Amino acid sequence: MSKIEVHRYPYTMLSEQTDYLQIDVVKYAAIGKSGSFVSDPGDRRNQGKNKLKTILLPIPSNISDSNSTKYGDSSLNSIGAALVGGIKGVMESGKSLGNGGDFAADLTAAIGGAGKEIVRTSGGIVGAGGFVTRSLASQAAGIAAVNITPDQILARTSGEILNPNMELLFNGPSLRSFKFSFKMTPRNQAEADEIRKIIRCFKTHMAPKVSSAGDTANTTFLKTPDVFELRYRQGVEEHQFLNKFKQCFMESINVNYTADGTYATYSDGTPVSMVMDLGFKEIEPIYDVDYDNDLSGVGY
């Protein structure tokens, strides 16, 4: 097994005694390949199996995490609910349609029952008929390029609107993003070399991969870039308080080679001060079971 490259800034950082951010570069493996998209932390990390490189950086001065879940407003007025209920009743009664030998009669009876429910919920024949009339009027107005809804017609004519029965509904999870900024000022040649290697490493492994046939690159298909595993560390141990990360893709790297506002370099061309901004996004959402599997610190 080949030795894994380790790059660090500062070059003389004592990782056994200080807090730092460890970023491991690993080969991409599709999530859910084993049949489950909710993975155990012990399985999620490659544990060095596919690790390519390791970069050690000081913990930035401004770190934070933000967890969110997607929700959306949903409205369903009483007449719409009756329509949905009526259609559902017809669909559910489809299991017995035609069992008596007369499919048409069974279907007519089912639809008739749905119609009665709509009339009952909408306040009788007048209420249901009024709703249909306003809907038709709204469509007719649309032909004349007049934008007006049935609710707006109802509000103008009677000062009422249908109760929207608004509710906030769960729409799905979100993927977390992380931004880090590092100011790097090389103090000697060794540190300048490490900074150059760190920047080049990030740029190389975030780039899409092309397959090659002999000496010719084949860009017909692109392979997924490598992924990054981030960990806050306290010496040789995991950080006991700060948030943990799932595997991330690197979305962006921005390097300002004139961090002090003016162009200045050493004799070999190395800028005297640089700022490297990194943007990561997790590959999979955070689930409740992730907290059951890892009980240390604040979790994810």
Task: Tell me the domain boundaries of the chain.
Answer: 5-62+176-293, 71-170
pLDDT at residue 7, rounded to an integer = 95
Query: Tokens representing 34?
Result: 């084993």
Q: Is 222 helix (H, G, I), strand (E, B) or coil?
A: strand
In this predicted structure, the answer to whether residue 128 has a pLDDT above a threshold of 60 is no
pLDDT at residue 160, rounded to an integer = 77
Q: Amino acid identity, residue 221? A: F
Helices of type H across 33-102 = 41-44, 78-93
Q: How confident is the model at residue 254 (pLDDT cuts 50, 70, 90)?
A: very high
CA atoms within 13 A on the CB side of 11: 13
265 or 138, greater pLDDT: 265
280 or 39, greater pLDDT: 280
Taking a C-beta distance cutoff of 8 angstroms, is the pair 51, 231 a contact?
no
Taking a C-beta distance cutoff of 8 angstroms, is the pair 23, 52 a contact?
no
For residue 49, count CB atoms less than 10 angstroms from its CB and return exposed for 0-12, middle for 13-18, buried for 19 or more. exposed
For residue 276, count CB atoms less than 10 angstroms from its CB and return exposed for 0-12, middle for 13-18, buried for 19 or more. buried
In this predicted structure, the answer to whether residue 89 has a pLDDT above a threshold of 70 is no
CA atoms within 13 A on the CB side of 247: 25
Q: Amino acid identity, residue 42? A: G
pLDDT at residue 81, rounded to an integer = 67
Q: Amino acid identity, residue 270? A: T
Taking a C-beta distance cutoff of 8 angstroms, is the pair 40, 88 a contact?
no
Give the range among 94-108, 162-176, 235-249, 277-291 with minimum mean pLDDT: 94-108
Q: Amino acid identity, residue 249? A: F
End-to-end C-alpha distance for the chain, whole angstroms? 32
Residues paired with 58 in a beta bridge: 20
- Report the chain's mean pLDDT, rounded to a whole number: 80
Query: Tokens representing 77?
Result: 């007025």
pLDDT at residue 295, rounded to an integer = 73
34 or 277, greater pLDDT: 277
117 or 261, greater pLDDT: 261
pLDDT at residue 105, rounded to an integer = 65
Angle at 204 between CA 202 and CA 207, to 5 degrees: 100
- Write the pLDDT tens digit of every residue in 15-36: 778 999 999 999 998 765 544 4
In this predicted structure, the answer to whether residue 38 has a pLDDT above a threshold of 50 is no
DSSP line for 136-198:
HHHHHHHHTT----HHHHHHHHHS-------EEEEEEE---EEEEEEEE---SHHHHHHHHHH
Share of the chain above pLDDT 70, in %: 67
- Write the pLDDT tens digit of every residue in 150-206: 777 777 777 777 778 889 999 999 999 999 999 999 999 999 999 999 999 999 999
Strands 248-256 and 51-58, by their bridges, are unpaired
Q: Amino acid identity, residue 293? A: N
Taking a C-beta distance cutoff of 8 angstroms, is the pair 169, 74 a contact?
yes
In this predicted structure, the answer to whether residue 110 has a pLDDT above a threshold of 90 is no
Q: How confident is the model at residue 13 (pLDDT cuts 50, 70, 90)?
A: confident
pLDDT at residue 164, rounded to an integer = 81
Query: Tokens representing 253?
Result: 């790297």
159 CB-near residues (< 8 Å, 6+ apart): none
Q: How confident is the model at residue 283 (pLDDT cuts 50, 70, 90)?
A: very high
- Write the pLDDT tens digit of every residue in 46-73: 445 688 999 999 999 889 999 999 999 9
144 or 204, greater pLDDT: 204
pLDDT at residue 90, rounded to an integer = 55
Give the range among 11-15, 144-148, 164-168, 225-229 with minimum mean pLDDT: 144-148
